[in-house]
């Protein structure tokens, strides 16, 4: 099946460096072709270029993109899309003055979601989660990482990962699964951290491996959650099963966690609302992608990742949604990109690189996703007629997406 897109006003290519990510000053560069065509063969980008060089082809389908912008679909490298119910009451409690920490200390927060998840059937969790997946696909997300971490019991974690597996099987979007058993200590292990880590390593991991349910491993490395030493144990155990680490770190406090993650070759370190100069030094020349989650900062009113300082230091940045019931009940990557521009002072070019090729790197799929490159997957956003791609972050509350193509098909 061949689909030809013609008369594209601006074709945003996004180009990866040889390292398959874009860092520092290169983040300001966004290769763009004006008045372009793009040819899709089955699920692959077969060709693209200037309209004046359009070869003679006879496609089965033609899409006229006059006045429109075409760019790679978003690669959202950090979500918790699979969950049960919601946490609207905590939202209102925060408006009335309680902090995220105070709510968690009262048994709310992650433990609240874990209780709901363990009380809900696998089928019901699937039905709730697929609606969120369908929503983010319609908002231009073509690849997504989904974490477990609201089970916190052997059965609960397996249930979540099985739901993610089922989503993988039933939807064309590229999905990577991350095991986040180390998201919080269940109440019964509050005074027995070693006991819960033993459950994670000796009960959960072997079962997950048996059913091949995870691609990555995560932990919430934070004051009051998992310490550096505890997170190191989790990363080492994951490595034995071939699971590379992607770690929640530096959300509320900087406790040298990034150093431990880089030492263990984490693929990404995520959140980074609080970042020290030492953290930046450690990330330089590492293979670890720093991931910022601006919708989380927005929703729970915490600092934004200091993107300017990090880019200035030569670091890459990826942008992701963190879609979850507690700190970010939204998976809209258009809002993430706009918020990165508005609040983190990333330029539109930097933000688009961060939400496409660098997001793809942070889930290990930058060879096949995240840019308009011949041979890569045909995962594309076609906008409505707009003046330029600047309009996307500028008109932050307007849906400017006309069509989304995933694996070569309009969704």
Nearer to ligand NIG, 36 or 152 (CB): 152
Nearer to Fe ion, 148 or 358 (CB): 148
Q: Which of residues 280-339 bind ligand NIG (CB under 6 A)?
A: 296, 322, 324-327
Name beta bridge partners: 47.
39
Closest separation between CB of residue 324 and Fe ion, Å?
6
Residue 296 partner contact from ligand NIG, Fe ion, none using kind-dependent CB cut-offs of 5 to 8 Å: ligand NIG
Q: b vs e for 255-272, b when ≥16 Cβ sit within 10 Å of the residue's Cβ?
A: bebbbbbbebebbbbbbb
Tokens of 276: 């020290």
Q: b vs e for 9-42, b when ≥16 Cβ sit within 10 Å of the residue's Cβ?
A: bbbbbbebeeebbbbeebbeebebbeebbbbbee
332 within 8 A of 136, measured Cβ to Cβ = yes
Nearest to 296 by CA among 304, 286, 287, 308: 304
Where does residue 116 fall: left (phi above 0), alpha (psi -120 to 50 degrees), or beta otherwise? alpha
Nearer to ligand NIG, 174 or 322 (CB): 322
Residue count, binding to ligand NIG (CB under 6 A): 12
322 is in an annotated binding site: yes
Residue 376 partner contact from ligand NIG, Fe ion, none using kind-dependent CB cut-offs of 5 to 8 Å: none
Task: Give residues with Cβ within 8 angstroms of 330, minimum separation 6.
Answer: 295, 299, 321, 323
* Residue of closest CB approach to ligand NIG: 326
Q: Read out DSSP for 207-230?
A: HHHHTT--SEEEEEESTTSB-HHH
Residue 220 partner contact from Fe ion, ligand NIG, none using kind-dependent CB cut-offs of 5 to 8 Å: ligand NIG
Give the Å distances, CA to CA, from 22 to 70, 108, 176, 316.
20, 39, 21, 6
Residue 181 partner contact from Fe ion, ligand NIG, none using kind-dependent CB cut-offs of 5 to 8 Å: none
The binder of Fe ion chosen from 322, 349, 350, 407 (CB under 5 A): 322
Closest separation between CB of residue 31 and ligand NIG, Å?
32
Residue 113 partner contact from ligand NIG, Fe ion, none using kind-dependent CB cut-offs of 5 to 8 Å: ligand NIG
Binding-site residues for N-formimidoyl-L-glutamate, please?
150, 324, 326
Site residues for ligand NIG per CB under 6 A: 109-110, 113, 220, 248, 251, 296, 322, 324-327
Site residues for Fe ion per CB under 5 A: 322
Binding-site residues, please?
78, 80, 87, 150, 183, 248, 251, 322, 324, 326-327
């Amino acid at each position: 099946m061949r689909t030809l897109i013609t008369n594209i006003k601006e074709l945003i290519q996004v180009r990866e460096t040889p390292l398959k990510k874009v860092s520092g000053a290169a983040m300001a560069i966004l290769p763009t072709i004006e008045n372009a065509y793009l040819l899709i063969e089955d699920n692959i980008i077969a060709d693209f270029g200037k309209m004046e060089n359009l070869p003679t082809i006879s496609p089965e389908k033609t899409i006229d993109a006059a006045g429109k912008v075409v760019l790679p679909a978003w690669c959202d490298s950090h979500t918790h899309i699979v969950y049960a119910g919601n946490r609207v009451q905590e939202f209102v409690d925060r408006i009335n003055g309680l902090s995220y920490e105070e709510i968690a200390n009262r048994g709310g927060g992650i433990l609240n979601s874990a209780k709901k998840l363990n009380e809900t059937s696998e089928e019901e969790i699937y039905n709730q989660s697929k609606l969120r997946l369908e929503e983010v696909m319609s908002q231009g997300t073509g690849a997504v990482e989904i974490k477990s971490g609201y089970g916190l019991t052997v059965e609960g974690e397996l249930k979540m990962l099985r739901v993610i597996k089922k989503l993988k099987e039933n939807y064309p979007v590229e999905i990577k699964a991350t095991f986040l058993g180390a998201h919080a200590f269940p109440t019964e292990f509050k005074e027995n951290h070693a006991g819960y880590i033993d459950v994670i390593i000796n009960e959960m991991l072997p079962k997950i491996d048996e059913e091949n349910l995870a691609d990555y491993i995560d932990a919430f490395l934070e004051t009051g959650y998992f310490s550096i030493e505890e997170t190191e144990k989790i990363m080492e155990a994951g490595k034995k099963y071939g699971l590379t680490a992607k770690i929640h770190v530096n959300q509320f406090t900087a406790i040298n966690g990034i150093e431990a993650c880089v030492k263990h070759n984490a693929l990404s370190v995520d959140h980074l609302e609080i970042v020290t100069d030492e953290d930046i030094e450690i990330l330089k020349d590492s293979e670890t992608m720093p991931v910022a989650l601006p919708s989380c900062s927005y929703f729970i009113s915490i600092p934004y990742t200091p993107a300017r300082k990090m880019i200035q230091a030569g670091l890459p940045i990826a942008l992701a949604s963190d879609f979850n019931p507690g700190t970010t009940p939204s998976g809209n990557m258009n809002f993430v990109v706009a918020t990165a521009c508005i609040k983190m002072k990333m330029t539109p070019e930097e933000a688009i690189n961060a939400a496409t090729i660098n997001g793809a790197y942070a889930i290990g799929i930058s060879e096949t996703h995240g840019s308009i490159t011949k041979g890569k997957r045909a995962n594309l956003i076609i906008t409505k007629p707009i003046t330029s791609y600047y309009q996307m972050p500028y008109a932050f509350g307007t849906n400017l997406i006309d069509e989304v193509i995933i694996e070569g098909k309009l969704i």
